Amino acid sequence: MHNKASIILGTNKKSVKTKNSEYVFHISSSDTGGEISLYEAIFNKIGKNKNLHYHKVLTETFTVLEGEFYFNLDKEKLILKKNDSIVIPPLIIHGFRAKVPNSKLLIGFTDSPNRDDFFIGLSQIVNGELILNKAEINQFYNKYDQYQINE
């Protein structure tokens, strides 16, 4: 961790977009040496895929800022609403999708040194700018401590 405060002005924040979502980089993993990072995820449409996965190292936190989300947590199915939060430690299978249009999440990570590149790569895959076969997609996710569960 740095011994100096970091000020990140809104005008200097990076973001990436897909046709259905936008990710705003509030606190970059590079600003904290990977100790913590914070992203806002905005979903324009209702989600169809819950993207079940787990992490071996990082802890992931979610807070619903607007709208509602379906969350899968191991075998449990939840609906999280505005101001609800969830903390997911390593090795817990989870996934989520927007329940209503224009839903927003604040997503935090600990022990994740390069989450910015994950969201950049994810947007390139979703936008068709980066074409990967199934094995390459799994390698992409695994590189960022995200292990997909096939439904």
Residue range 63-94, pLDDT digits in tens: 999 999 999 998 899 999 999 999 999 999 99
Tens digit of pLDDT for each residue in 137-146? 999 999 999 9
**61 in Cβ contact with 85 (< 8 Å):** yes
User: What are the extents of the domains in the chain?
Assistant: 17-148
Tell me the CA distances in angstroms from 125 to 50, 122, 148, one per residue in order: 17, 5, 15
> What is 17-148's CATH number?
2.60.120.10
* Nearest residue to 100 via CA among 43, 23, 22, 17: 43
Whole-prediction pTM: 0.91
pLDDT for 31: 81
